[in-house]
């Protein structure tokens, strides 16, 4: 079967995906309860920063265990190369450009305030996930799930946009983008919240998020729950306790060393969560996803996107192809690599299908999901590709992937790549395949015609980062040949 093959760490007999129903029956003779849904999101983690994807200098045994116990997606994408839009797409299961959430909110609040001060007729801009969009938490709550979130939100900080108004019954974390990890006070400009109340946090933030996630599981272990656990590691600022930094004295590059320490802390935290699930005998009753919200910003935090060109902020593979893992013991055969293209939008419908397999939830046509339920593909109940095409747009960048071919449009310039032979996007095939360029350009134009105008503009800083992410291809090509 083309799309799946044993992971390189598997030895001995390997179970074929076609035997999944037998495997599931052998694992458990009881009728399982509706599964817990756990979605773990890392921040700014590079494709090559975990062991199962080639990382040599940073052990990530806990994250790797999700792949060993489940499936690693070698062609797993996010719907945007920056934080907030990706999260908007993931939580709704829809291309976020359909409802105008194309860019990060950034620092535009102050800019908008200044504009209104000088031009009172300037309309007010409220940044956040549009209130008429339905979240995964909304749908799982309506299906009888307990719903909780721990970590970075980044989908609106005004009260109507906060997690407790978007389907979550419990929340611990911060509302914006980048955030400090230490010396956190309730009086800070961007405090930590429990529910809607700000508080002091004395523990290293990554450790605190793990603590809160474990406590949430403990409170709700007797009922099906949805836990959305969104670490801000390994996003800057690079703040990390000495106990983690001491693990990586052999790494000479200070950014890479700090990133490694922050990643190691997160891996420990994920291990605490997985350990809690295991100790409560919930592994067969828990569908667990792990993903990064975008590619690594290599110059910013020392992350690596090998073997790809590009990084956070750009639509080259390094900006949008990310670590993407899933496990569900007893339901998904373990230790597999799935190489068809999938996207973070698929988490939403996959979770809904697992939560309500007998009676699919009724979703209105105007909120139709762009994601696909992956379970039939992982169980070999369906063959072929989950998606015929995937699309991206981020300002003056756009892309479409069909099969192994990707068309990339940056500031009006179009290139074409065969990712199966050229993952670093170094050989432009557009002159050799004009008909394919025409076909994909038309498909992209049709998709773009369905999108909404961005609700707020792109910040200057983010636009500059996007230009840099797609600018010097020769330098990026050299980086893509490095090994972790």
Contacts made by residues 51-56, CB under 8 angstroms, sequence distance 24+: 52/7, 52/9, 52/325, 53/323, 54/306, 54/483, 54/484, 55/304, 55/484, 56/483, 56/484
* Local structure of residue 102 (DSSP, 8 states): -
Sign, Cα dihedral of 336, 18, 352, 404: positive
Instruction: Give exposure, 249-288, as e/b (b: 16+ Cβ within 10 Å).
Output: eebeeebbbbbbbbbbbbbebbbbbbebbeeeebbbbbbb
Q: Provide the pLDDT confidence category of residue 105 given band limits of 50, 70 and 90.
A: confident
| 228 CB burial (10 A radius; 0-12, 13-18, 19+) | buried
Q: Provide the pLDDT confidence category of residue 126 given band limits of 50, 70 and 90.
A: confident
Q: Check: CB of residue 217 under 8 Å from CB of residue 276.
A: yes
- The whole-chain average pLDDT of the chain stands at 89
Query: Which residues share a beta bridge with 327?
Result: 288
Of the listed 55, 80, 101, 154, which one is catalytic? 154
Q: How far apart are CA 90 and CA 293, in angstroms?
A: 9
Q: pLDDT tens for residues 197-217?
A: 999 999 999 999 999 999 999
Tokens read off for 235: 């996003």
Judge if the upstream peptide bond of residue 257 is cis by omega within 30 degrees of 0.
Answer: no
Of the listed 55, 80, 83, 235, which one is catalytic? 83
E strand or H helix at 21: helix 20-27
Predicted confidence at residue 102, as pLDDT, reads 97
Q: How far apart are CA 444 and CA 458, in angstroms?
A: 21
Q: How far apart are CA 371 and CA 351, in angstroms?
A: 11
Q: Who has greater pLDDT, 260 or 479?
A: 260
Predicted confidence at residue 241, as pLDDT, reads 97
Half-sphere exposure of 41 (CA within 13 A, CB side): 28
Q: For this structure, is 83 an active site residue?
A: yes
Query: What average pLDDT does range 283-311 have in this prediction?
Result: 98
Whose CA is closest to 201, among 226, 184, 179?
184
Q: How far apart are CA 83 and CA 409, in angstroms?
A: 21
Beta strand 324-327 pairing with 71-73: antiparallel
Predicted confidence at residue 114, as pLDDT, reads 52
Q: Where are the alpha helices (DSSP H) in 303-342?
A: 317-320
Set out the domains of the chain in order of their start, with CATH numbers: 36-388 (3.40.720.10)
Q: For this structure, is 5 an active site residue?
A: no
**The 3-state secondary structure of 425-482, one letter per residue:** CCCCCCCCCHHHHHHHHHHHHHHHHCCCCCCCCCCHHHHHHHHHHCCCHHHHHHHHCC
Whose CA is closest to 461, among 110, 189, 124, 45?
110
Q: Torsion angle of alpha carbons 206, 211, 212, 214, nearest 10°?
A: 120
Q: pLDDT tens for residues 42-58?
A: 999 999 999 999 999 99
Q: pLDDT tens for residues 431-442?
A: 999 999 999 999
Q: How far apart are CA 467 and CA 251, in angstroms?
A: 30
Q: pLDDT tens for residues 29-38?
A: 445 689 999 9
DSSP secondary structure of 148-212: EEEEE--S--SGGGSGGGTT-SEEEEESSSS--SSSB-TTSSS-EEETTEEE-B-S-HHHHHHHH
pLDDT at 14 over 80: no
Query: Which residues share a beta bridge with 71?
Result: 326, 336
Query: What average pLDDT does range 236-251 have in this prediction?
Result: 98
Chain position carrying tokens 């403990």: 218
pLDDT at 132 over 70: yes
pLDDT at 478 over 50: no
Q: Check: CB of residue 96 under 8 Å from CB of residue 102.
A: yes
Beta strand 397-402 pairing with 389-394: antiparallel
Chain position carrying tokens 């060993």: 68
Q: pLDDT tens for residues 371-422?
A: 999 999 999 999 999 999 999 999 999 999 999 999 999 999 999 999 999 9
Chain position carrying tokens 């044993």: 6
Q: Provide the pLDDT confidence category of residue 484 given band limits of 50, 70 and 90.
A: very low
């Amino acid at each position: 079967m083309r799309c799946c093959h044993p992971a390189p760490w598997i030895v001995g007999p390997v179970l074929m995906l076609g035997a999944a129903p037998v495997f599931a029956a052998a694992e458990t003779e009881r009728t399982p309860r509706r599964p817990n849904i756990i979605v773990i999101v890392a921040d700014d983690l590079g494709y090559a920063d975990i062991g199962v994807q080639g990382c040599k200098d940073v052990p990530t045994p806990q994250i790797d265990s999700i792949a060993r116990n489940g499936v690693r997606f070698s062609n797993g994408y996010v719907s945007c190369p920056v934080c907030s839009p990706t999260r908007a797409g993931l939580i709704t299961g829809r291309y976020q450009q359909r409802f105008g959430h194309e860019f990060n909110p950034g620092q535009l609040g102050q800019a908008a305030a200044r504009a209104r001060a000088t031009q009172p007729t300037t309309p007010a801009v409220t940044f956040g996930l549009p209130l008429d969009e339905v979240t995964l938490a909304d749908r799982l709550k309506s299906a009888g799930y307990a719903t909780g979130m721990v970590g970075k939100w980044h989908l609106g900080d005004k009260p109507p946009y906060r997690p407790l108004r978007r389907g979550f019954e419990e929340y611990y974390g911060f509302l914006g983008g980048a955030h400090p990890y230490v010396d956190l006070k309730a009086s800070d400009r961007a405090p930590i919240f429990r529910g809607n109340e700000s508080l002091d946090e004395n523990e290293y933030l990554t450790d605190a998020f793990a603590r809160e996630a474990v406590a949430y599981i403990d409170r709700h272990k007797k009922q099906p729950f949805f836990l959305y656990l969104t670490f801000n590691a390994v996003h800057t600022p690079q703040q990390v306790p000495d106990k983690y930094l001491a693990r990586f004295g052999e790494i000479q590059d200070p950014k890479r060393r700090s990133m490694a320490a922050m990643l190691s802390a997160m891996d420990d935290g994920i291990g605490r969560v997985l350990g809690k699930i295991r100790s409560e005998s919930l592994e067969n009753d828990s569908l667990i996803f792990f993903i990064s919200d975008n590619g690594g910003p290599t110059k910013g935090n020392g992350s690596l996107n090998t073997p790809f060109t590009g990084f956070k902020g750009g639509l080259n593979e390094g900006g949008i192809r990310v670590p993407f893992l899933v496990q569900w013991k007893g339901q998904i055969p373990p230790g597999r690599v799935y190489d068809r293209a999938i996207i973070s939008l698929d988490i939403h419908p996959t979770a809904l299908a697992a939560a309500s397999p007998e009676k699919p939830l009724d979703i209105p046509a105007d909120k139709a999901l762009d994601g696909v339920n992956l379970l039939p593909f992982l169980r070999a109940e369906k063959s072929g590709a989950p998606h015929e095409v995937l699309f991206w747009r981020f300002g003056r960048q756009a892309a479409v992937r069909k099969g192994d071919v990707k068309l990339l449009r940056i500031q009006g310039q179009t290139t074409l790549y065969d990712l199966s032979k050229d993952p670093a996007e170094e050989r432009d095939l557009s002159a050799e395949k004009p008909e394919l360029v025409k076909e994909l350009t038309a498909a992209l134009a049709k998709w773009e015609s369905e999108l909404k105008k961005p609700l707020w503009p792109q910040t200057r800083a983010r636009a500059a980062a996007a230009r840099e992410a797609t600018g010097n291809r020769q330098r990026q090509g050299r980086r893509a040949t490095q090994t972790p």
